[in-house]
Amino acid sequence: MSALLTIKGLSVRFGGVQALSAMDMEAPAGAITALIGPNGAGKTTAINCVSGVVAPDAGRVSFDGQEVLGLAGHKLACLGLTRTFQNLQVFGLMNALENVMVGMHAASRGGFAAAMLRLPLLRREEKAIRERAEEMLSFFGLEKLAHQPAEELAYGDQKRLELARALAGRPRLMLLDEPVAGLNAAETHEIGGLIVKIKEQGIGVVLVEHDMGLVMHVSDQVAVLSGGVLIAQGTPEEIQQDPEVLRTYLGGGEEFGLVA
């Protein structure tokens, strides 16, 4: 498997905090690569660098062979790289359907003039956007909530809505920052299943998560960050045996959900 996303020597400093130090990581297409590590390890910072939200002090990020550092955020979506947010970022006053329709932005083209004049191209496109958004809502079990303002949705449904929005434009790689944080076991299980289904469509997934049961269950590869340093990358089995990883997670084996 050749890497779709390659991160090399990524370093970020926030004032006195070295959030990332020369981090290297790869994520292939059509596989789930988990990125784990304790609170403050730098996982979100890494995602933010890749998605153009944070400019790193050093390092390179290439997506499908193309350098993407410094590209404006919206260009990445056009290249096929989307993300979700650890702190929910739904469009609260728009309804669920419209939220997902925004997710189709990169996959459609009609501009200001076409929109104002309602050109035929635009009307065709609008229909396709709506159909895809409806398909996404049912994939994530949100179809009944299509016309609810997003801010009125339950927390778990807003989490799902973000996934639906990120998947709508048929990306090649999705960066998911803690998609099941705050969800109960049943919801976690369900979303884990959906993430696997996403992977089965040939889409690469970078999964940032604290839920070790989920991580070890669904991931093909696991990368471990600690204090901004990548301390290990390997299969779930390898990671669970890695002495340094075990030291980082003081609880040892149980932390990884190995008991079951």
Phi, psi of 199 (to 5 degrees): -60, -40
In angstroms, rounded to a whole number, what is the distance separating the alpha carbons of residues 138 and 105? 19
206 belongs to the binding site for ligand ATP (CB under 6 A): no
Residue numbers 76-115 binding another protein by CB under 8 A:
76-78, 82-83, 85, 89-94, 98, 101-108, 110-112, 115
C-beta of 158 vs 221, nearer to another protein: 158
> Euclidean distance between the first and final Cα of the chain, in Å?
30
* Nearest distance in Å: CB 233, ligand ATP: 16
State which amino acid sits at residue 170.
R
Structure tokens at 26: 């790869």
* Nearest distance in Å: CB 93, another protein: 5
Given a contact cutoff of 8 angstroms between Cβ atoms, the answer to whether 256 and 249 are in contact is: yes
Contact range with Mg ion by CB under 5 A, out of 42-50, 124-132, 155-163, 215-223: 42-50
Question: Which of 192, 209, 248 lies closest to 44 in space, CA to CA?
Answer: 209
In angstroms, rounded to a whole number, what is the distance separating the alpha carbons of residues 203 and 198? 6
Contact characters 76-105, Mg ion, x per CB under 5 A: ----------x-------------------
Q: What is the DSSP letter of 98?
A: H
Helix axes 185-200, 155-168, angle to 10 degrees: 0
Given a contact cutoff of 8 angstroms between Cβ atoms, the answer to whether 84 and 179 are in contact is: yes
* Nearest distance in Å: CB 44, Mg ion: 3
71 belongs to the binding site for another protein (CB under 8 A): no
216 belongs to the binding site for ligand ATP (CB under 6 A): no
Residue numbers 28-47 binding ligand ATP by CB under 6 A:
37, 39-45
- # of chain residues touching Mg ion (CB under 5 A): 2
C-beta of 26 vs 98, nearer to another protein: 98
Sheet with 66-67: list strands edge to edge.
17-28, 3-14, 58-63, 66-67
* Contacts with another protein, residue ranges (CB under 8 A): 51-53, 72-74, 76-78, 82-83, 85, 89-94, 98, 101-108, 110-112, 115-118, 122, 125-126, 129, 162, 165-166, 169
